[in-house]
Structure 1
């Protein structure tokens, strides 16, 4: 099974592979105009002036006009999944082709690329928000890219992070693991938030694994545990005996005793975990091998 993370939420906004044309990624950067360090809440995609911009999802246009530094901007509100809102914003347009209150469908032409507002050249500034929280669009929007690749600037410390990964099909025959993975993948791309333990707050590493374990529908209910607490409810297993669905624990990733980081092992040397953001990661990088502690199996 090839996973696409949560990118099914937002369809391709250009109808082509736009990943090679990203000029500024989500996250901290040096602002191209002010020169100061700021947090970029979307991605900038360089495209020729006048290129048609497509709605990324079904919804209602809530903004269609001037919006300060965004210049001419369109915002669409819809649903990510049941009970959770999805908002996309399309900034620096040269022309807007929809109006506030209009219902649109994914793929409708809504605007054209421009350089209005605080801009240094024609591009689309694309933002994705789930329940009002900014998310990395590379995890939530279909970029049109079909290759497996590393995320630019993704992951906290360990490296080897992926937004696409082929989970071994034979592993999904285990119904418990398949249920865990289905729940875990809902939150790919969510940012790391210290102390976070639910989709409404986002997650830290143990909050994420606790949520997945407790909400995957296989009968576990351990409450919100720390990494070391999760280790305490597991039976330790050797690396040779580890299988998909086991938890994987690391130590000394920050100054604390015992297990300090936890992920869910998915087989073939890969885990899904809450780095920054939530992603798949290769556990065989030098960082993760240096901090590896043990595998644990839930009862």
Structure 2
């Protein structure tokens, strides 16, 4: 029972503190007024509800964290046709992050999916990029002449961006979607554990370098994010780098992790992928 109470306490702590910091971050700014309108004037109650949802989302993550070890959870059987989708999880998570997304993608006809696993604690960012790149290239080689789509949540989206800086790799990719990715960094990363987390601080030298070298790679790319993200602060940290050719779509006001478990978010990604592949391969 001690372990159970510890995890419950941790989930409540993360949910409460992260939304408390978000309240402090947006107080008196334009984003505060925007959220006030979304909450129909009841922003305080909206924050309380959001803390509850963030708490429940954390619990779901804990309960499903090791499900990626079950055969078939991370990869699907190839039906020989259609695009190949590779999912890249975020910081401190693993392939089980995509349990519901894979199901919704399958129902939408995107049945050939692969979920990567990588260690986000032991390696640095620069050490992890070639690992992810090799895994994606290996999957692409197994499915020649098939459209390759990359979907990344949070840190996973940054790893995809770094892989795309290689022109030979980029030529293999047909579309990219990121979910709640801190494209410009997050102040909350200062509290992260591990060498990678500190690099993700808002406007940190690493993030400035990453965005300075951001390429307009002529690959359809979409950044999906929530106006009520409790892990990326300030909210403009979610926006792709200036001068890039990324499209942007905003979800309903939900927490950072809940984007992984929200069907409307999955439908946004599916619609963009279908549109992008139609333009490139059917036009």
TM over 0.5: no
Q: TM-score, normalised by structure 1?
A: 0.27
Q: Write 1 or 2 for the structure with the bigger share of helix.
A: 2
Q: Write 1 or 2 for the structure with the bigger share of strand.
A: 1
Q: TM-score, normalised by structure 2?
A: 0.28
In our comparison, the structure showing a higher alpha carbon Rg is 1
